[in-house]
Amino acid sequence: MNKLKIINGYIITPYRIIKNGTLLINDNKIELISEVDVEAPDYCIIDAKENYVSPGFIDIHIHGGGGYDFMDGTEEAYLKIAEIHAKYGTTAMAPTTLTCAKADLLKAIDLYKSANLKNSKGAQFIGLHLEGPYFALSQSGAQDPRYIRNPDVEEYKEVIAHGDVIKRWSVAPELPGAVEMGKYLKSHGIIAAIAHTDAIYEEVVVAVENGYSLATHLYSAMSGVTRRNTYRYAGVIESAFLMDQMDVEIIADGIHLPAPLLKLVYKIKGPDRIALITDAMRAAGMPEGESILGNKETGLKVIVENGVAIMADRSSFAGSVATTDRLVRTMVQMADIPLIEAVRMMSKTPATIMGVETIKGTLTVGKDADVLIFDENINIKITMINGKIIYTSPDFV
C-alpha cells in the first residue's frame, strides 16, 4: 500500500488554491485534502517546497512524442509516447490515429489493447481517438489525402465491433453518411467530433442534433465564415461559438493559435467547455529538424522549427510538438488566463469530455492519485500516476 503525504505546497482544487495545504494519498487514491497539517506518522513525506500541487494533465488528442508515433504500428511506440509525455505532466491520454487504411485502424485497436496491459511507466490510456479517414479533402491539412474518403457504414461498424476501446471519432459532418455515423457513434457511447471540415452552420446544427458534440482542434482545418455566390455562411468555428452545448479543443501552443484567438475562445466558451490538447507528433520532446508525421516508413516528411512542425514545402502547419506543460504555460503567460482555470482546461474539462470525471481530473477525495508538482513557470518537478511517482525532475531533491 502506497501512503504519501504531500506538504508545503499550493494545492490546486477545483474551486481554489490552498496555501501550505496537506494532501494524503492512500492505496493509489486521494485520501484527504486539508488546509492544515495532519498527523500521518506512517506516511512517506514529500515536501512540495512551495510549488504548486495540481491534478495530472489529460491530453485527449495526441499522436506521438520522443521519436515515436502511434501509427508506427508497434507496442513500443505506445509505451514510449506515454512515458515521454509523463515527464511533461501528462498523466492520462487518448492515443490518436491519422487518416489511414482500414487494416491500420484495426491494428491500432489491437495495439492499444496489448500496450494498455503493459503500460506501467507512462501516462494512462483512457480510450482510442480515431482522427479520420472521413474528412473533407479540401481541409486535409497534414492528413494523407491518399486515404481520405466518405463514411463507409460497413467499414466503421466493423472497426467499432473490433474492440470497445474507441472512445472518440473525428469526422467531417457534411460528408454523405456522416450524420448517420454520428447517430451510430453516440448509440455506442463514442464521442462524435467535428474535424477537417468545410461544413456550414446549417450542417453543423444537423450534426449536433444527431450526436456530434465536440470540435476537434478549433480553428485548425475547419471552416470559418465563407461566401458562396452572393451570400455569407457561418462555418464550424462560428457554430462552435454559438452552440453553448458544444465542447471545443484547442492547440494552445501559442503558434497554432496566437494569444488573441486563445483569449477569444476562452471568453466565449469558458474553461468548462475548452480542452487544451497537444496534437503532438513524434517530434515532441525531440530536437528540431526534419521529422515524419505518421508511420515512420510511409508518413509525410515535415520540418520542425520555431516550436512547431510544418510541411516540407512550408505551405502549412503539419502538427504540434507541444507538451501539456507548455499548453498551461501559454494560457497563463500569453493569454493571461488564471492558473486555476488553465489547469481546469488541462484536467477537469478533458476528463469530463472523455467520461472519466468520476475518477480523474481533479484533486478530490476518492479519485485516482494523479498528481503533479510544478513551479510558477509550470516546470514539472514530480509526476505521479495512481499514487506512483513516474518522474522526478533532476533539480528537485
Packing angle of the helix pair 102-118, 75-86 (nearest 10 deg): 60
Instruction: Give the active site residue among 72, 247, 279, 325.
Output: 279
**Res. 20: pLDDT tops 90:** yes
Q: Give whole-number Cα distances, 276 to 7, 126, 133, 305, 359, in Å.
A: 28, 16, 23, 22, 19
Mean pLDDT value of segment 192-205: 98
Of 51-55, 247-251, 302-306, minimum mean pLDDT range? 302-306
- Tell me the pLDDT tens digit for each residue of 91-128: 999 999 999 999 999 999 999 999 999 999 999 999 99
Cell of 317: 502547419
Mean pLDDT value of segment 272-300: 93
Structural domains of the chain sorted by starting position, each given as residue range(s) with its CATH number in brackets: 3-54+362-392 (2.30.40.10), 56-353 (3.20.20.140)
Mean pLDDT value of segment 126-150: 95
User: Would you place residue 299 in the very low, low, confident or very high pLDDT band (cuts 50, 70, 90)?
Assistant: confident
Q: Residue 189: what pLDDT? A: 98
**Res. 312: pLDDT tops 90:** no
Q: Residue 100: what pLDDT? A: 95
**CA angle in degrees (0–180, nearest 5) for 266-21-85:** 50
Bridge partner residues of 228 (DSSP): 231
- Tell me the pLDDT tens digit for each residue of 199-235: 999 999 999 999 999 999 999 999 999 998 889 999 9
Tell me the average pLDDT of the chain.
96
Mean pLDDT value of segment 362-367: 98
Supply the pTM of this predicted model.
0.97
User: Would you place residue 303 in the very low, low, confident or very high pLDDT band (cuts 50, 70, 90)?
Assistant: very high
Of 174-178, 241-245, 307-311, minimum mean pLDDT range? 307-311
Task: Say whether 279 is catalytic.
Answer: yes
Q: Residue 57: what pLDDT? A: 99
Q: Residue 1: what pLDDT? A: 57
178-184, Cβ contacts within 8 angstroms, sequence gap of 24 or more: 178/134, 178/150, 178/151, 178/207, 179/206, 179/207, 179/210, 180/151, 180/153, 180/210, 181/134, 181/151, 181/153, 181/156, 182/207, 182/210, 182/211, 182/212, 183/210, 183/211, 184/153, 184/156, 184/157, 184/160
Site of grid cell 520540418: 303
* Residue 244 burial by Cβ neighbours in a 10 Å radius (0-12, 13-18, 19+): exposed
